[in-house]
Structure 1
Amino acid sequence: MKKKMWRTGLCGLTACSMLFTMPALAWAADEPQNTNIDNGLIAYYDFENVNEKKVPNVKDQSKYEGELKGSNVSIASDTIFGKSLKFTEGTEGTMEIPQIMNTSQNSYSISLWFKYDTNTNREGKNTVLLQQSGQGRTFLQFTKDNKYATYVNATNVYSDKTVDLSQWQHVMATYNKDTKKIAFYINGEKDSEKDAGNQVVNELTNLLIGRHKNAGNDPLSMRGLVDEIRVYDKVLTAEEAKAVYESKAGAMLFPQLQETLKEAKELDALGSLDTEAEEAKVLKEAIAEAEKLTAESQLSEISETIKELEEAMKNYRAAIGVVLTVSPTKEERSIEKSTIGINHRYAFNGYGSFDSTKMEMKEEFTDLYKEAGFGSIRYPGGTISNLFRWKESIGPKEERVNQIHGFYNNPGQGGIAPNFGLTEVADFAYRDDIQSEIVYVYGFGRGSAQDAADLVEYLNAPAGSNPGGGVAWADIRKENGHAEPYNVRYFEIGNENNQPGTDGTTSQQYWMIGTQDAEKAYVEGGVASFTKQYAVKKDDWNKAASVSDGTANQVRYMRYANPNPMTGKDGKTLVENFEAVQKGSVEVWVGTDGEGNNHKWEVVESLDNAGANDQKVTIDYRDGSIHFGDGTHGKIPAKGQQIYVTYKVKRDGFVAVSKAMKDMTAEINEINAKSGSAEKASCYVYSSWETKGFIDKMAAGNWNDYYDGLTIHPYCGDPGADQDKGAFYDSAMRLAENVGIQKVKNYVNMLPQGKVPVISEYGIFRSTSPLLRSQTHAVYIAKVLMEYVRLGSPYIQKHCLVDWYSSGADSLGPTQQAVIQAVPQTGANQGTGEGNFRFFSTPSAKVFELFSNSFAKGTKVVGTEFEHVETLANGTKAYSAIASKGDDGTLYVTVVNTDRENDKKLRVKVEGVDLTGKTVEVQTLAGESFVDENSLAEPDKVTIENSTVTAEGTDLELTAKAHSVMSITVKEKVDPPAPETYTVTAKANNNDMGTVTIDPVKDKYNAGEKVTATATAKEGYEFVNWTVDGQEVSTKTTYELTVEKNTELTANFKAKAPVEEKFTVTARVNDSKMGEAKIDPDKAEYVKGEKVKAIATAKEGYEFVNWTVDGEAVSTEATYEFTVDKNVELTANFKKTEKPVEKVTITVKANDSKMGTVKLDPAKESYENGEIVTAIATAKEGYKFVNWTVAGKVVSDKAEYKFKVDRAAELQANFVKVSEDPKPENPKDEDKAVQTGDNGVSPIIPLAGLMLAAGAAVVALRKKED
């Protein structure tokens, strides 16, 4: 290894093996200067003699000794400089130089070399290089778009140029304390000198290398290598800065010459041009001159020769043209029409695209949608979908409930009418002339496992079945007009739920904010707790709309109560025994914001006994609603007061939701199989928690089976101001590669085998530049789209389909990024999407039209390779390509030329095929300029140009226009050569420990074919790794290999270490009004074999029945003791105590049976208290009825006497002869109990107490005393 030398004299040049790009050496044409680079140097670090994290100052070892701190910083050997400082993943690592800087007292120049680790996911953030401690600030960093920057005097100052982070870079920043100016030198050249601001820090600070003083993830810490740190206490001149750079750069230049020479020779050897062609002659001459140089040659001479070689190669290649080879037999992945799609949103009548009067999509919009040919449509959107409840968006429009915006508390944001509901989007998407597959985003913010399973049943179960029990959702779908299942395959659980912030305005974590670990809650679920959270209206969660309106019987809701699963034939009746929030956890407060400004109201069972001023409320635990009084029974909250609620709610996490959906799908497939149907439902579930933490938690919980991939939204960030439109375009293409594509690659590397990235939103974000409506964005989309296809995303959906034509943005982002623009006409309402809108397609929509007419018609992605890829001045690839093959052999080749100024001569080769005489179809989307955009006035200013070209030779020669997207369709069938075949087998190291499978199972496999081997450990054992010939090839249970040779895989297992099993035990009641239940002891988890008691206590008027588990009785003892051996939820069942029914005997007799007959109706042996009975007396001939008496007291003078039983009694009917002139005894008033009147049937008279009535009046008389 080369040792670095401390240079105390004149700078010189030595050779080394590191390659540098030419832009880094643009100054090298000048002759080297003899400049002393020691002048003003106070510290120099070369990292050759670091001892126990102490870094000596080579200039002066008596002071400024550096120290390495943190676990992610170390010394790397064998770098281009010998030993170098190395930063790996983490936020704590730094090198600290003590007490070295005070920018108020001294000027400084600090330089370093660094090589950034480009595998790092930068997430559009800045990265710190040099930072001061204490009150000091960032002295040097590089930004998300690769410019250098400083904040030394509290003003962001940026370099003019960007840097290529894929190569070693040299940077120097000089600060002048007198002028307060900062200068940047990039690879020896002065970039700029600018005002640094006036907020100077007068403090002697430490200098931190590679980390912000406040360790964290924004800005990012350095990743990669750092070396040759120099600190000067003066402002270096441009000449001195150049000399510092030259002291190391020259050593690196000669190897670059060697590599460039090698490339030139290989190009010349191809013989693509006639030897007499001018470009061929110039290239040979340049090669000859380069071969004369050695490592001792002058830097300027080496630099100039490299330039000449590169110029000669550039001209040679231009004469040849861009050579693209398509390999039809190299199949990379399968694709479907649905692979390329769009993100649409239900809100505001689909942003004006839906006619809520006709309840159908508008014709003008539909025509544009059909032109674009989207293969899939994401619904109900992104952030807007997080609180969407699908059950409230189906059925008659007038019965639907306004939905809640994902950022519901922004000013003016109210409830959203779900006119464009689930039925409407499905009816549109599955039209014969549309055929877009639905990708459904489940509203995790207000969802549950049961609700998600119901959704799958509604979408995918056959009508007449009811796989989930309860509501027959498939039948409701049929009633809504769609008898056949929709067969939705793809489900995202939430949208960007990993994004924190303020609930209601910026956060997408909703109920997860109420837990201690939002990421853990998203994965596993848990109890969310909220304290004095303002309560909301059911259909409007905006805080301003949620205050009391002063009316009677107001109802407010707890935002994150669980959704009631509903019952009834129409699914609109609340399930009675459902608990939307935890009972006993609810407190209600009324007042205004601020401690002491609101007061607690009492939660009671009923308001029936509440007074007019009683501050009492009731809670309906079925749906988490809060009910106030009417001013007679319970006080009305004063108008304008806020209602607050404290509560706890147990929420389902991703795992529970996904399991419920997949279980429901399995049930649907069982039903289909039993009915003899070949229909098979699929359910692919993707997480919206876009972090490595989610991936790790799923693996740690052994839950990988419950997710199929991770949704990634690789927005590139803002390309910057668009005054310089060319710079905006160049920045956008750079961001496409460095962020838009690289971010997905990073996640692909993180994901386990078999899991895929899902690109359900992407684009340039957040910029409001009109260039987003131009050809610039169209080229960006095409460039990233083809890479997303290669990276394996099952569907790729641009955000978004339609938005308002404007110059601004809303809380969901800039309106300019929509591929179809909605232009409001007179009377149109952008707040609701009602009214008349006109529509036009942007060039971005034309990109989708081009893809749908070509590439998307293929079923297999096939190989493409450029002979050489030119790098543009902005550091990006000049062109890219992708190709697909249809089942009939038709080839569809798509090429993007991102060079905004130059057309490219293109030569297309099809491997194994002579194209001579073949005619191909060509589609080109370019426009006159990269800034061109469409409008209502000019809807086709940028449109697809169609043409045909006939190949005049073996290859096809075309011109790829600047800033263009081009597709080439070769319809002739290609007969591929027979592929090479190999064997692939798999075995276990011990069949008692585990099993192995291979998919697909074949005798022979084609070269390049993908084979998946899966290892499954048996109980008591665990998987270790896969090996081939004793060498480990994977530690994942599912291993995908590309067939290249005969292969025998061995799955290795080992015995598991014993694990203490733990389970959960919970108790609930069938009705909390009847009793209570608890577990003793009360713990979160119980060890297997532990004794536990479940204790049930009945309330007054009720009695305990039994304990049940999953509906099966397990005990009739109120205290039930059992041994824990699994997760258990016990239900204590109570019933109302029934009082015994009291029965008495009633008899009737006549005073003389000769005179008449008597009977009771009904005639029974005994009667219940309260029963109505009629005594009937019938006089015989010659006699007449007088009255009824009980114990000698007259109770009625009616022959038919109706009364209510309240005791045992004997009634006597008294008759007399007709000839007699009866003179009945006149009893005392207190002995009378006579009924009179003309109604024919006596009123009811209670016997007990001898209650009497005269007509409508009842008089109570005392008993006659003996």
Structure 2
Amino acid sequence: MRVLTGTAVVAALLATSVPQPAAAAATVQIAVSPNRYVTNDGVPVGDIPAAMIGSNQRWPDDGKGVWNSAAGRPADNIVSLSKNAGLDMLRYPGGTVANLFDFTKAIGRAAQRGCQTSGGFANGQFSPTDSRFGPDENEKMADAIGGRTQIMVPTINRTAADAANYVEYMNSPADGAATNPNGGTDWAEVRAANGHPAPYGIHYWEYGNEPYHNDQIYWRSTDPAVRVQQFIEGGWQRQTAANAPYANNDGLFSGCDLANRKTANGQPNQSYRARFAPIALPGDAIGKPGVGEPILEPVLKVNGVVWKRVNVLTNQAANAQVYRITRADGGVHFGDGTHGAKPPAGATLSFEYVSGIHQGFLAYRDAMKKVDPSIEVCSGWGQPRFIDAMGTRPYDCLGIHSYSSPPADGTPTRYNNLQYATVNRDAELRDFRTRLAAKFPAAAARPELVVTEYGTLIFPEPAYEARLAHVLYLGGQFAGQIENNVRLSINSNTADLPLDNGGFDPANMFGSGPQFLTTGRAALFSLYKSMVGSHAVSTTVTGNPSLTSPNGNYGALRVVSVCAGNQNRLMVLNRDPANPISATVTLTGRQATGSATVSTLNAASVESYNAPEHPTDISIQRSQAPTSNGTLTHTFPAHSATLVELTGTTTCGS
């Protein structure tokens, strides 16, 4: 079968005919107010920014296939697909995989770049990873699609000065003067030398990624109450075999490979490194914030025998069992056999130490905003625990990861669990707004709410995230984000490599290369992008059929409405998997005129998804529907997402 890609897929989507059920007597009423939607904490929802259509853009493997490193440009077809979907915001260098990323190793000529260390999930936790798709390549990608970038700032093995240097590289002018407020390298001039004299102007920066998850603790405490304080204020934590969250935390490693602990090689001047730099020593904690006192002396063992730490090796005897450390990089160094003993080849090396003293969110935000005061620095600990621990100390934005993990116990139950999960996600966002309002009563001082990842976790097969059931779930999440005044939204993920067996992976916005295509979620966003620049207005649905899940009931129709001037747009999700629903749409206080443009995304089944062998199973049909007496009556097909575009007799309210 011929594989359609790029604009060919979009044309096919628009041309595909999905049968529409015959109109029936409408018992459901959708009333669209002219008034701006107001959140539960009293804030009128602003105009919908283009940044609401974003994706998590991971850096490894040429951005998981979106970049052609040999040609120095985006991969074939990815630009047109991104533009058609309205993709505006790329979250770089990704999430969990980027927790140990170092931007300085990903810039300049390819031959000069160093390897990176994977933070987990993709490419193996703590494993060495490439640096081909660096910040400059990502910006070329963003420029090609007409979009922008939000940067997740890694905090593990990094410092506030490193983060400030990152801001300097991306945002400061290359003016020939030393503009780095931290001193040292003028990173703006380095960017200019790398081919981009003008600043990139990155506005949104996020400190850390999911530090509340047990698989992303790294050097921090396993106690969440302690860990959140370390996240905010910095601190230290002892790394041992007994109480570390990861295997081999008491090992020694080399280079960017922090997965495979080393045994001694028997050579002179052996050098290794601890997993989490820097190394703290007794006395460091005096006057410093943090938790975990006292800071104890490191304990290094060679074949189970404790060796002694010394400051220098040059004055040591040939057989002295000693070592020295370089604290900032976590280095552990042995003698040459003349000045200090050499650990014998094959000897086991164990190193228990205190990782620290690390800086926290407060220090990072301060250092970054000294470079560019206009940026927003978001907290990556998007949970109530952070809001409570942070208190009234100012911050710019709170980065939420809005995931659901509904149980997958049978197809009908799985479907209902998934759709009901949007009820919980909406409630979660409202709760965040309430909590932030309690800490910051003045709305102008209140941190913005941004969603820096959303989707689902823990489904039994990868393709489920591509299916129409999942597309409808994402549509419901997006509607809730609009009504909760979310200012930036990142879907997970842009693309991925083919599956291990070489097959196509459809569970991303554009699937996997080299045959990227318009997935169901990309088609959904192509409808939602028409709402950018409008503001949400209040909508009520009466007579809405109720659907049942094991966790509770939810309305079959989920409706979000926006207005700009006299133009109204409604996204109507019919989540009933079997039944069409006829409804009358009324513009309260106004009348609809002319015909409505109706764009319906649908498929044969909630289990349908797009793949190279069947690229348009989820498709969009456009039609015109006449209004009558100022209203529109329309039948919304089962398991569909329908964009209705109406013109009113007068403009909507402010």
Q: Does 1:498 align with 2:245?
A: no
1:822 alignment partner, SS class: coil
Cα 1:470–1:542 change in 2 (3 A) is same
Q: TM-score, normalised by structure 2?
A: 0.82
Q: Distance in 1 between matches of 2:73 and 2:379?
A: 32
Q: Does 1:547 align with 2:263?
A: yes
Q: Does 1:802 align with 2:533?
A: no
Structure 1 residue 552: Cα displacement: 4.3
Structure 2 residue aligned with 1:656, among 363, 366, 383?
363
> What CA deviation, in whole Å up to 9, does each residue of 1:743-771 have, x standing for no partner?
22322222234234322222221113333
Residue matched to 2:381: 689
Cα 1:413–1:755 change in 2 (3 A) is closer
Q: Distance in 2 between matches of 1:941 and 1:633?
A: 71
Residue matched to 2:190: 476
Structure 1 residue aligned with 2:227, among 498, 518, 532?
518
Q: Does 1:730 align with 2:416?
A: yes
Partner AA of 2:334 in structure 1 = F
| Contact 2:405–2:457 under 8 Å retained in 1 | yes
1:471 alignment partner, SS class: coil
| Contact 2:117–2:126 under 8 Å retained in 1 | no
**Which structure's CA Rg is the greater one?**
1
Pairs within 5 Å for 1:240-279:
none
Cα 1:636–1:354 change in 2 (3 A) is farther
Structure 1 alignment gaps of length 5 or more: 1-316, 501-505, 564-581, 592-596, 667-681, 809-814, 824-836, 980-1008, 1010-1266
1:728 alignment partner, SS class: helix
Partner AA of 1:354 in structure 2 = W
Q: Does 1:868 align with 2:554?
A: no
> What CA deviation, in whole Å up to 9, does each residue of 1:1203-1251 have, x standing for no partner?
xxxxxxxxxxxxxxxxxxxxxxxxxxxxxxxxxxxxxxxxxxxxxxxxx
Pairs within 5 Å for 1:706-717:
707-717=395-405
Q: Does 1:819 align with 2:497?
A: no
| Contact 2:464–2:507 under 8 Å retained in 1 | no
Structure 1 residue 613: Cα displacement: 4.6
Structure 1 residue 708: Cα displacement: 2.6
Pairs within 5 Å for 1:896-935:
896-916=573-593, 918-935=594-611
Q: Distance in 2 between matches of 1:804 and 1:550?
A: 40
Cα 1:600–1:396 change in 2 (3 A) is farther
Structure 1 residue 865: Cα displacement: 2.2
> What CA deviation, in whole Å up to 9, does each residue of 1:1078-1100 have, x standing for no partner?
xxxxxxxxxxxxxxxxxxxxxxx
Residue matched to 1:1131: none
| Contact 1:389–1:446 under 8 Å retained in 2 | no
Q: Distance in 2 between matches of 1:600 and 1:713?
A: 44
| Contact 2:278–2:327 under 8 Å retained in 1 | no
Cα 1:959–1:818 change in 2 (3 A) is same
Partner AA of 1:932 in structure 2 = S
Residue matched to 1:238: none
Structure 1 residue 323: Cα displacement: 2.3
Q: Distance in 1 between matches of 2:431 and 2:68?
A: 42
Structure 1 residue 375: Cα displacement: 2.0
Q: Distance in 2 between matches of 1:848 and 1:640?
A: 56
> What CA deviation, in whole Å up to 9, does each residue of 1:1123-1147 have, x standing for no partner?
xxxxxxxxxxxxxxxxxxxxxxxxx
Residue matched to 2:275: 559
Cα 1:945–1:719 change in 2 (3 A) is farther
Q: Does 1:420 align with 2:110?
A: no
1:320 alignment partner, SS class: coil
Cα 1:744–1:927 change in 2 (3 A) is same
Q: Distance in 1 between matches of 2:452 and 2:120?
A: 20
Residue matched to 2:10: none
Cα 1:772–1:539 change in 2 (3 A) is same
Pairs within 5 Å for 1:760-779:
760-769=452-461, 770-779=463-472
Structure 1 residue 638: Cα displacement: 3.4
Structure 1 residue 610: Cα displacement: 5.0
Pairs within 5 Å for 1:66-81:
none
| Contact 1:495–1:508 under 8 Å retained in 2 | no
Partner AA of 2:390 in structure 1 = M
Q: Does 1:628 align with 2:342?
A: no
Q: Distance in 2 between matches of 1:412 and 1:488?
A: 28
Structure 1 residue 529: Cα displacement: 3.3
Residue matched to 1:216: none
Q: Does 1:346 align with 2:59?
A: yes
Structure 1 residue 495: Cα displacement: 0.7
Partner AA of 1:902 in structure 2 = N
Q: Does 1:637 align with 2:343?
A: yes
| Contact 2:60–2:129 under 8 Å retained in 1 | yes
Cα 1:745–1:457 change in 2 (3 A) is same
Between Structure 1 and Structure 2, the one with more helix by share is 2
Task: Indicate the larger mover: 743-752 or 926-935.
Answer: 743-752
Residue matched to 1:993: none
Pairs within 5 Å for 1:802-1201:
802-804=495-497, 806=499, 817-822=507-512, 837-852=514-529, 854-856=530-532, 858-874=533-549, 875-886=553-564, 889-916=566-593, 918-970=594-646, 972=647, 975-976=650-651
Between Structure 1 and Structure 2, the one with more strand by share is 1
Cα 1:366–1:548 change in 2 (3 A) is farther
Residue matched to 2:239: 530
Partner AA of 1:881 in structure 2 = V
Superposition RMSD in Å = 3.1
Q: Distance in 2 between matches of 1:865 and 1:629?
A: 76
| Contact 2:590–2:648 under 8 Å retained in 1 | no
Structure 1 residue 842: Cα displacement: 2.5
| Contact 2:90–2:148 under 8 Å retained in 1 | yes
Structure 1 residue 443: Cα displacement: 0.5
Q: Distance in 1 between matches of 2:121 and 2:301?
A: 21
Structure 1 residue 802: Cα displacement: 1.8
Partner AA of 1:554 in structure 2 = Q
Identity of aligned residues (%): 27
| Contact 1:905–1:957 under 8 Å retained in 2 | yes
Residue matched to 2:71: 358
1:445 alignment partner, SS class: coil
Cα 1:656–1:427 change in 2 (3 A) is same
Q: Distance in 1 between matches of 2:540 and 2:524?
A: 22
Structure 1 residue 413: Cα displacement: 5.9
2:117 alignment partner, SS class: coil
Structure 1 residue 660: Cα displacement: 1.9
Pairs within 5 Å for 1:260-659:
319-330=25-36, 332-407=45-120, 414-431=127-144, 434-464=145-175, 466-468=179-181, 469-500=183-214, 506-512=215-221, 517-531=226-240, 533-544=250-261, 546-562=262-278, 587=298, 589-591=300-302, 597-608=303-314, 613-631=319-337, 633-648=339-354, 649-659=356-366
Q: Distance in 2 between matches of 1:880 and 1:775?
A: 15
Q: Distance in 2 between matches of 1:553 and 1:921?
A: 74
Cα 1:368–1:515 change in 2 (3 A) is closer
1:734 alignment partner, SS class: helix
| Contact 2:67–2:133 under 8 Å retained in 1 | yes
Partner AA of 2:588 in structure 1 = E
Structure 1 residue 790: Cα displacement: 0.9
| Contact 2:592–2:648 under 8 Å retained in 1 | no
How many residue pairs align between the two structures? 586
Residue matched to 2:426: 741
> What CA deviation, in whole Å up to 9, does each residue of 1:479-522 have, x standing for no partner?
2222222221112111111123xxxxx23343455999222111
Cα 1:419–1:698 change in 2 (3 A) is same
Residue matched to 2:482: 789
1:766 alignment partner, SS class: coil
| Contact 2:369–2:375 under 8 Å retained in 1 | yes
Q: Distance in 2 between matches of 1:860 and 1:484?
A: 33
Partner AA of 2:332 in structure 1 = I
Q: TM-score, normalised by structure 1?
A: 0.44
